[in-house]
Chains A and B, each alone.
Chain A
Amino acid sequence: MKLVTAVIKPHKWEDVRAALETVGVTGMTVSEVSGYGRQKGHTEVYRGAEYDISLVPKIRIEIVVDDADVEVVTGSIVQAARTGRIGDGKVWVSPVESVVRVRTGERDEGAI
């Protein structure tokens, strides 16, 4: 099992959700987060005073998937989230040792 984590632009969230639904992903955890990459945020101006805002709003998606589904899930996220401009985000995959469904007590593959 793997944990696929994606950090994407907020306005691409609906596209990514639709793409994941198409490839059969049934559940995920989504959070509003902030961060920055190589672009180092942006500048805002209030009454002439410039503020460098280093943290940019992002959406973070977490999905636990079977090993066999990793490629199709990451691929669909990358395809749906890409605008080609700076700040499109990242997707990474980490190993998962064990999963338990709280309601039934099912474990691992049965709990995904």
Chain B
Amino acid sequence: MTSLALRPLVLDTGDTAWLLVASALVLLMAPGLALFYGGMVRSKGVLNMMMMTFGALGVIVVVWVLVGYSLAFGDDVGWGLVGDPTQFFGLQSLMSEDSNGDGTVPRILFAVFQGLFCVITGALVSGAIADRARFGAWLVFVAVWTVLVYAPVAHWVFDFSAGDHVGGWIANDLGAIDFAGGMAVEICSGASGLALALVLGPRLGFGKDPMRPHNLTLVMLGAGLLWFGWFGFNAGSALAANQTAAIVFTTTLLAGAAGSLGWLLLERLRDGHATTLGAASGLVAGLVAITPSCGSLTPLGAIAMGGVAGVVCALAVGLKYRFGYDDSLDVVGVHLVGGLIGTFGIGVLGSAAAPTGVDGLLYGGGVDQLGKQLVGGGAVLVYAFVVSGIIGVVIDKAMGFRIHEEHELTGIDQVVHAETAYDLHATAGARSGHSVLGTMTHREDNE
């Protein structure tokens, strides 16, 4: 992540145009994730799964504009831990052109771009608690989590000191590298998801009843949209239309492809079949791992990083069965493990020839950078896990986080949202007052 403050003084229309597009691409990841996750749950929970993403989108962008951006990118109020929460309230002070400071892109656009990172991170967490979370409790969680977990972590990782501005400790004091969010997005969402999965407990019938994905074509479509959006996520983090963005675009492409191949190869050898879900999961694993490292690797390094992530994440998703936690859609196995691979991998595969790279172990750079990466990644993991767990427990005690057992068995879509995703039977949706399986009441009929 390049700091706005380090860039030249004049706004650049090319940079601004690219960041506008990149921001829209990151927003596209939200419906992409909704499809990716929605296809992986059973048909009776697909709408709720999608609504957790769309609900997070609604809550987070509002909270971000009110207070999140200030906490993340306001002047540090102590030890590099958190920004001044009132500094950019409502982004009011970023309305005028004078507010752009010394960047080449409008600061308000940077604020929104960063807010969309928070959206996708929060939405990722929901995959760990599919089919069993109360929708209202989930919305409360993402609001509090934005303030207490994501914004501080973003401050640590993304907020660089410059001039009078003092930023966060991981970016400035520690010097760990996280170009587009291996720590702030991937490790943070994975650790938060693990904490919530433990707080809510496993789905009824977990490990016993079949809970296979109900629509793999949605999963493939969602994965494709995620990959498309990821170019905005990673290459947009260059905050400029330049050589760095081009290199990051390249490494993002390569790591996704190699991740997919790695996962498929492992599946073919272990299970005998190369599956569509494996192809989609592997490309996401590769993209997760390249997120922190996309500016620090050579193209060959990106292939290695993606391939390793594809194989290791494919192995890691089995951990939930071994340890008995129901991380329903493998947020831990793909995002936490993939984020750790990418974050730590910089210390091994990093190359000084890359825009934000330093020579890692394999390039003769010693263990110095690896140590920094371990400290940064470890700190984010522990912080996100502990604080998300506390928020989850408090919400559970205060208002209940989990839906009623009977509602879970009936299907969360029908009970929570009064909708079902698919009307496949002529008898289930008659338009008149009488139908075989249900009765429809027009509002006019009651007047």
| B212 with A46: CB separation less than 8 A | yes
Size of chain A's interface in residues, with CB distance under 8 A?
Answer: 10
| A48 with B210: CB separation less than 8 A | no
Contact with B along A24-42 (1 / 0, CB 8 A): 0000000000000000000
Interface hub of A50, A51, A52 (most chain B Cβ within 10 A): A51
Residue of A nearest to B317 (CB): A47
Residue of B nearest to A47 (CB): B317
Residue of A nearest to B270 (CB): A48
Size of chain B's interface in residues, with CB distance under 8 A?
Answer: 17
| B271 with A51: CB separation less than 8 A | no
| B275 with A46: CB separation less than 8 A | yes
A13 to B271, CA, bound (A): 32
| B213 with A46: CB separation less than 8 A | yes
Contact of A102 with B by CB under 8 A: no
Contact of A45 with B by CB under 8 A: yes
Contact of A51 among B210, B275, B278, B333 (CB under 8 A): B210
Contact with A along B272-291 (1 / 0, CB 8 A): 01010110010000000000
Contact of A18 with B by CB under 8 A: no
Chain B residues with CB under 8 A of A47: 277-278, 281, 314, 317, 330, 333
Contact of B318 with A by CB under 8 A: yes
A103 to B81, CA, bound (A): 80
Chain B residues with CB under 8 A of A46: 212-213, 275, 277
Chain A residues with CB under 8 A of B271: 45, 48, 50
Contact of A96 with B by CB under 8 A: no
Residue of B nearest to A49 (CB): B321
Contact of B102 with A by CB under 8 A: no
A49 to B275, CA, bound (A): 12
Residue of B nearest to A44 (CB): B212
Contact of A72 with B by CB under 8 A: no
Chain B residues 254-304 with CB under 8 Å of chain A are: 267, 270-271, 273, 275, 277-278, 281
Chain B residues with CB under 8 A of A100: none
A47 to B333, CA, bound (A): 10
Chain A residues with CB under 8 A of B210: 51-53
In the complex, how many angstroms separate the beta carbon of B310 from the nearest chain A beta carbon?
12
For this complex, 16 residue pairs linking A to B, each with C-beta atoms less than 8 Å apart, are: A45-B267, A45-B275, A46-B275, A47-B277, A47-B278, A47-B281, A47-B314, A48-B267, A48-B270, A48-B271, A48-B314, A49-B318, A49-B321, A51-B210, A51-B212, A52-B210
Closest 10 CB pairs of A and B: A45-B271, A51-B210, A47-B317, A51-B212, A46-B212, A48-B318, A46-B277, A47-B277, A45-B273, A46-B213
